[in-house]
Amino acid sequence: MDLVDIIEIGGSLLILLAFGAAQLRRLDMHSLTYLVLNLVGSATLAVIALAQHSWGFLLLEGSWAIVSAASLVTGRRGGHGPG
C-alpha cells in the first residue's frame, strides 16, 4: 500500500463518517461538520481521480465536492450558516 492509497482511504473514510453519522442522526446534513467532511473527502478523491485519469470517478467526486462547497457558501451567505 502506497501513500496515495492511504490518502484515498482517508478521503473515503471522511465521506463515510459524515454519511454514517447523518444516518444515525448524530450529525445534521446541513451542519458545518457534515459539509466540511464531505468537501474535504470528495475533493481529495477528485484530485486522485484526476491524477489517475479516472474520468467517471472524477465526475462523481468533483460534483460532490462542488455541491458541498456551494452548500457551505450558500449557507453562510444566507446569514444562518450551516451547523
- pLDDT at residue 70, rounded to an integer: 96
With 0-12 / 13-18 / 19 or more C-beta atoms within 10 angstroms meaning exposed / middle / buried, residue 24 is exposed
Is 37 inside a domain boundary? Answer: yes
d(CA 30, CA 10): 22
Give, to the nearest 10 degrees, the angle between helix 32-51 and helix 3-23: 150
Is 39 inside a domain boundary? Answer: yes
Rounded (5°) CA angle 3-12-6? 15
The range of the structural domain enclosing residue 72 comes to 3-77
81 has pLDDT over 60: no
- pLDDT at residue 82, rounded to an integer: 47
- List phi, psi (to 5°) of 82: -65, 145
Q: What is the pLDDT of residues 32-67, one digit of tens each?
A: 999 999 999 999 999 999 999 999 999 999 999 999
Confidence of residue 83 (pLDDT cuts 50, 70, 90): very low
Total domains in the chain come to 1
Is 83 inside a domain boundary? Answer: no
Is 82 inside a domain boundary? Answer: no
